[in-house]
Amino acid sequence: MVKKLQNPYEVITLDSDDIITVGDIKKAIGDLKAVTLCVRTKTGEYGRGGYFFSIVVKNDKIEIQTFDGQPLTPDSETDYSLMSINDFAEFINHVSGREYSEKMFELCVNHLNFKSD
């Protein structure tokens, strides 16, 4: 059965054809402590989708969450969903196909791609 989810945070769109930088992320989220960042290319239909990242800012870290507001790796001994903003920028660029990262590839393959509903 398909479970319909309601995005828990305000959606902020970041349109760019370039590598996403820490500055881009900081500018997009501003002072918000929880947001869904939609990263997409500059061109295309207004209502198009993109790569969605639901995040919560916790001190100097970014926690990546599922669409239902849960950390990506809540049952893990190490919370792989909590990362620095520099790592988060690298993560966005890797998963959106902007720039390959061996570090983020390993993170995704070994820890993040095992979420089950």
Query: Per residue in 38-54, pLDDT tens?
Result: 999 998 888 888 999 99
For residues 16 and 28, the answer to whether their CB atoms sit within 8 Å is no
70 pLDDT band, cuts 50/70/90, is confident
Rounded-to-integer distance, Cα 94 and Cα 80, Å = 16
Show me where the domains of the chain are located.
11-112
Which strand (E) or helix (H) includes residue 107? helix 102-107
For residues 80 and 73, the answer to whether their CB atoms sit within 8 Å is yes
Nearest to 62, CA basis, from 96, 38, 91, 41: 91
The pLDDT value given to residue 117? 47
Nearest to 92, CA basis, from 27, 38, 13: 38
The pLDDT value given to residue 6? 72
Q: What is the pTM of this model?
A: 0.85
